[in-house]
Structure 1
Amino acid sequence: MKLSGRIWALGVALTVLSLAALTGCASTSPPPPPEVHSGRPDRGAELITRYGCGSCHTIPGVSRADGLVGPPLTRFGARSYIAGQLPNNADNLSRWITDPQAVEPGTAMPKLGVSAIDAQDIAAYLYTLD
Structure 2
Amino acid sequence: MDYRQTGATAARQAMVCVLGLAASACVDKADLPRPVAQADPAAGLVVIREVGCAACHAIPGVAWPQGRTGGSLAGVGARPLIAGRLPNQPDVLIQWLIDAPSLDPDTAMPPMPLTQDQARDVAAYLYTLDDD
Instruction: Report the TM-score, using the length of structure 1 for normalisation.
Output: 0.83
- Report the Cα offset of residue 26 of structure 1: 4.5
Aligned length in residues: 127
Please show how residues 23-102 of structure 1 align to structure 2 within 5 Å: 23-26=20-23, 28=25, 30-32=27-29, 33-38=32-37, 39-102=39-102
Q: Once the 2 structures are TM-superposed, how far is the Cα of residue 23 of structure 1 from its aligned partner? A: 4.1
CA distance in 1, matches of 2:33, 2:11: 38
Query: Which of 100-109 and 44-53 deviates more?
Result: 100-109
Aligned to 2:125: 125
Identity score, percent: 37
Superposition misfits of 4+ residues, deviation over 6 angstroms: none
Is 2:59–2:72's contact at 8 Å kept on the other side of the alignment? yes
CA distance 1:6–1:52, change in 2 (3 Å)? closer
Matched residue type, 1:121: D
Q: Tell me, in whole angstroms, the C-alpha distance in 2 between the residues paired with 1:54 and 1:8.
A: 58
Aligned residue for 1:99, secondary structure, equals helix
Deviation at 1:11, TM superposition (A): 4.1
CA distance in structure 1 between the partners assigned to 2:5 and 2:54 by the alignment: 63
> How far has the Cα of 1:24 moved from its partner?
3.9
C-alpha RMSD over aligned residues: 2.3
Quick one: structure 1 residues 118 and 13, their matched pair in 2 at CA, closer, same or farther if it must change by over 3 Å? same
Instruction: Return the TM-score normalized by structure 2.
Output: 0.82
Instruction: Pick which of 101-110 and 75-84 moved more.
Output: 101-110
